[in-house]
Amino acid sequence: MTEAPARDINRLLRPKSIAIVGASETPGALGAVVLANLVKHGFPGDIHLVNPKRETISGRPAVPSVEALPEGVDCAILCIPRVAVLDTVRQLAARKAGAAMIFAAGFAEGGEAGMADQLEIGRIAREAGMVIEGPNCLGSVNYVDRIPLTFISTDVAAPSPGGIGIVSQSGAMAAVLAVMLLARKVDLTFHVSTGNEAANGVEDFVEWMIADDKTRVIAMIVEQFRDPARFLALVAKARAAGKVIVLLHPGKSSAARESAATHTGAMAGDYKLMRAKVERAGVIVAETLEELGDISEIAFRCPSLPSGGTAVLGESGCFKALMLDLGEELDLDLPALTDDNAPDLRAALPDFVPVSNPLDLTAQGLVDPDMYTRTLAALFTDDRVGTVYAGIIQTDPGTVAIKLPPFLKAIDEYRSTKPIIFAGLDEGAEMPAEWIDKLRGHGIPYFPTTERAFRAIKRLTTYSERDFAVAKAAPSRVPALASEAGVVPEYRAKALLGPLGIPFGKGQFAATVEEAIAAAEAIGGSVVMKAQASALSHKSDAGGVALNLMGADAIRAAWDKMFADVARYDASIILDGVLIEAMGARGLELIIGAKNDPQWGPVILAGFGGVTAEILQDVRLLTPDLTREAIIAELLSLKQAALLKGYRGAPALDVGSVADLIGKIGQLLLGEPRIQELDLNPVVVYPQGQGCVALDALMLAE
């Protein structure tokens, strides 16, 4: 088989020649706007115009068809109706065009016929080595070389020195984010809307931007990753290269997931699973479009990413209290600074201003502006402080002219690499643009309000402190698993998993009532009887569990009743037998489950069980490569984690044993991809040193 030619994204984003198919000089027409954008920005390469009805357009020659184009045009912009797109792509492939940008909608999002055409476009592109942006896209803008390939009238004032690249499936949101960042005088490199992704998806453009030396931050708006494994590998590559990826991913709600399917032809996956995977790889996930812009700007502008503890400079006691409230809500580290433990800061302040964090400087800065410089200098040298946040009252230009110079002086004199985030308290105050520009020129982001900056700092500090260490344990194999398929009942699952170190209670399978009696006698004491069949996933619902049984008579009675109850529940269920186990001691119930997602791969769920499990949803999703320390940290971040630490005099529980159990499940998932699901529910955890035990086990094998 002949290998398909490589596709070069440079021919789309940095073309040397462009063809506009459907060129026009009608004001507002797509082809007219694309041409006007290129002319306005002095595109230095060849521009070829295609229009079957015009020999000239805006004083430029036009050809009647794609067949009349010279071979090897870098990029063709298709400003034509949807019905003409497929044939045009075929013609471009025959003319060896490098790339095509398709604005028209009505493909995968438009029904079966549209999907068929989109798949055919992808096939043609792969065979011809063409890059395809779209269909259903808004185009792209190259800010570095001033090449706007979009039907939105665009003004790229000057070549960009480098900064943030935007990759978005939504063209409208890519344009909105670009406008937002440009208004803050953030330098952009490229923005790309991928639309329906017939041939090239967000992963292709992220990979290209990672290799681009001018792109330092990649801001993404994605409704569906079509190649999750590749994206995760690219995130790790970006992190190794020192590049930050910030992601906004709609789809937390069921309604949003349905909207994504109609908007981009995507079938949205599970949001929580996606988030666990991408954050583990090194993505910063934003909750809102505004937050996406805020995080991206701070990552771009500051000399280093926010990390460690945050020191808050304020000028109001009320503001101090508000920031304490918000810091607790966000779980943002605000290190305790006092007169006793911060001598440099104490020396920088007047006697009547106590050292604290947040710090209330009062209005003293108006009469002693140098206090801001002294305060910043002291914070720069304090190892407990990794980020400085200044919530300053602006009031009017005169007040700003008093307060801002000391901030800039501190940066100039002390050359600290600690990020400073400046936020005004009084939105609407007259803040002269020249001062905002000076702050930004010194690497200080300016926010007109306070709370959003605080939230962005939290996202970035969490990223900076994330533990990316990988567990060193080898994957586990289960040789006997080859004989299993479909739902594996509890007794078989426990037989397979017990030898791997998964802690189960003492028990025996019994196929007859006599075997059940013998098993109970061998175990001794009070026992539990559980019905066993692959078709019986929820035993309790069918009367398939009997507790506190002692003696042969109790076993016989429970056996007869259980078989009758299950038959009444569903006559088609044929029991293999029962599992007899020792009654376990009471403890705290947890849920531990696992899933091998077809797109994202294996993930583990761990959290609190019991009757409120489905209501409270107090769980964490963990990737199978976490270290023991990282797993413990995740467990202790659960909302009810106080119960694990020992609550109201109760003993601390054996969290380490739960982490070891989760680690073993991780090894199992990595070693046995045939395991689709695994459910250990409940897992009972006992006081420190007494371990944990999984009372039930259900497995689904491919």
E-assigned strand segments in 463-586? 486-488, 507-510, 527-532, 545-549, 577-582
CA 111 → CA 117, 151, 260, distances in Å?
10, 25, 14
Q: How far apart are CA 316 and CA 353, in angstroms?
A: 11
Mean pLDDT, rounded, of the chain:
93
SS3 readout for 474-493: CCCCCHHHHHCCEEECHHHH
**Of the given ranges (121-130, 189-198, 264-273), which has the lowest mean pLDDT?**
264-273
Dihedral pair phi/psi, residue 678, rounded to 5°: -145, 130
Cα dihedral 557/563/569/572 (nearest 10): -170
Q: How far apart are CA 343 and CA 374, in angstroms?
A: 12
pLDDT value at 1 more than 80: no
What CATH code would you report for 160-301?
Answer: 3.40.50.261
* Tokens found for residue 321: 């209290």
Residue pair 51/23 in contact (Cβ under 8 Å)? The answer is yes
Residue-wise pLDDT for 97-111, tens only, equals 999 999 999 999 889
Instruction: State the pTM of this model.
Output: 0.92
Q: How far apart are CA 683 and CA 692, in angstroms?
A: 7
What CATH code would you report for 506-582?
Answer: 3.30.1490.20
Per-residue pLDDT, 6 = 62
- Collapsing DSSP to helix, strand or coil, 53 comes out as coil
Q: How far apart are CA 702 and CA 240, in angstroms?
A: 35
Dihedral pair phi/psi, residue 681, rounded to 5°: -150, 115
pLDDT value at 672 more than 50: yes
**Of the given ranges (213-227, 244-258, 527-541, 660-674), which has the lowest mean pLDDT?**
244-258
SS3 readout for 288-351: CHHHHHHHHHHHHHCCCCCCCEEEEEECCHHHHHHHHHHHHHHCCCCCCCCCCCCHHHHHHCCC
CATH architecture for the domain at 1-136: 3-Layer(aba) Sandwich (3.40)
Q: Confidence class of residue 267 from pLDDT cuts 50, 70 and 90?
A: very low
Q: How far apart are CA 698 and CA 270, in angstroms?
A: 22
Q: How far apart are CA 96 and CA 220, in angstroms?
A: 31
Per-residue pLDDT, 253 = 60
588-701 under CATH 3.40.640.10, yes or no: no
CATH 3.40.50.720 residue window(s) in the chain: 1-136
Q: How far apart are CA 562 and CA 568, in angstroms?
A: 10
CATH 3.30.1490.20 residue window(s) in the chain: 506-582
668 membership: H or E segment, kind and range? helix 655-671
pLDDT value at 2 more than 60: no
**Given its phi and psi angles, is residue 268 left (phi above 0), alpha (psi -120 to 50 degrees) or beta?**
beta
Q: How far apart are CA 350 and CA 377, in angstroms?
A: 15
- Per-residue pLDDT, averaged over 556-565, amounts to 97
Count of residues for the chain?
702
CATH 3.30.470.20 residue window(s) in the chain: 588-701
Per-residue pLDDT, 261 = 44
What are the residues whose beta carbons fall under 8 Å from the beta carbon of 383, sequence distance 6 or more? none
* Tokens found for residue 145: 């070389």
pLDDT value at 360 more than 80: yes
* Tokens found for residue 354: 């106590």
Residue pair 149/141 in contact (Cβ under 8 Å)? The answer is yes
Q: How far apart are CA 180 and CA 587, in angstroms?
A: 53
* Tokens found for residue 179: 């406008």
CATH 3.40.50.261 residue window(s) in the chain: 160-301, 303-464
Picking from 210, 277, 284, the residue whose alpha carbon sits closest to that of residue 599 is: 277
Q: How far apart are CA 492 and CA 488, in angstroms?
A: 6
Dihedral pair phi/psi, residue 243, rounded to 5°: -105, 140
What are the residues whose beta carbons fall under 8 Å from the beta carbon of 646, sequence distance 6 or more? 652, 653
Residue-wise pLDDT for 474-515, tens only, equals 899 988 888 888 999 999 999 999 999 999 999 999 999 999
CATH superfamily of 303-464: Succinyl-CoA synthetase domains (3.40.50.261)
**Of the given ranges (125-134, 245-254, 500-509, 588-597), which has the lowest mean pLDDT?**
245-254
* Tokens found for residue 521: 């006698």
